[in-house]
Amino acid sequence: MSPIPGSGLAKGLAVTLRTMTRRSVTARYPDVLPDLPPRTRGVIGLFEENCTVCMLCARECPDWCIYIDSHKETVPPAAPGGRERSRNVLDRFAIDFSLCMYCGICIEVCPFDALFWSPEFEYAETDIHELTHERDKLREWMWTVPAPPPLDPRAEEPKELAAARKAAEKLEAAEAAAAARADEPSGPAAEADGTGGGDRQGGEGPA
């Protein structure tokens, strides 16, 4: 019991009056866009240059909402006399966002950093079939993905940068060797450089 009868009633009135003087909390969404955290998980973007059609995302997806079609192409050997190599070419990459439950497993599982969370969230459709978004739309969303957070000071170099740098250094060394060979024409010209084949996997695409 309150000490003064009716003080509870007055307190109730005070609460509502105080609330009236404060700013209301209503989000005026269509007029004013929400102030979302930069890494909001709004939609999944595809960085298709990184995709190797390994199908891991489609297989891990609990909802089976990722559709991937691809075919193999052969690429001519990198060096004369080498073996022809086959390469996967992405034909279709689609995510059905009417099935997707935004668990993010596909993004976690992608070994080539081809899938990313984008903060974009305004992709409602009037027809459920139109929620299956194809690779062009997914690629477009990639532009809204914020840049990765900076590495810690004195952290290890990112793998793709390291690989690219190694390739560049190797090339430089080979060029230097070639220049040295050109200086003394009587030297043996047997050694062929191997810049093309060996580094292919690591240096595929910087993110």
Partner 1 sequence: MNDVLDVALRLLAVFAAFLVLPLVVGQTEHKVMAHMQGRLGPMYAGGFHGWAQLVADGVKFAQKEDVVPAEADRRVFRLAPAVALLPYLLVLLAIPVGPDTVGQVVDAGVFFVLAVMGVGVLGSLMAGWASANKFSLLGGLRTAAQLLSYELPMLLAAASVAMAAGTVSLTGILDAFEWWWLPWQIVGAVVFFVAGLAELQRPPFDMPVADSEIIFGAYTEYTGMRFALFLLAEYAGIVVLCGLTTVLFLGGWHGPLGADGLGWLWTLLKTAVLAFVVIWLRVSYPRMREDQLQRLAWTVLVPLALAQIALTGVVKVVL
- Interface positions with partner 1 (CB under 8 A): 9, 12-13, 15-17, 19-20, 22, 24-26, 28
Which CB atom, from 15 or from 89, has the smaller least distance to partner 1? 15
What does DSSP say about strands 85-96 and 115-118: parallel, antiparallel, or unpaired? unpaired
Which CB atom, from 30 or from 153, has the smaller least distance to partner 1? 30
Rounded-to-integer distance, Cα 77 and Cα 71, Å: 19
CB of 13 to partner 1, least distance (A): 5
CB of 20 to partner 1, least distance (A): 5
Which tokens is 191 given?
A: 């050694």
Which CB atom, from 19 or from 144, has the smaller least distance to partner 1? 19
CB of 36 to partner 1, least distance (A): 20
Distance of CA 139 to the CA centre of its chain: 10
Rounded-to-integer distance, Cα 45 and Cα 57, Å: 13
Which CB atom, from 24 or from 86, has the smaller least distance to partner 1? 24
Closest CA to 146 of 122, 118, 123, 108: 118
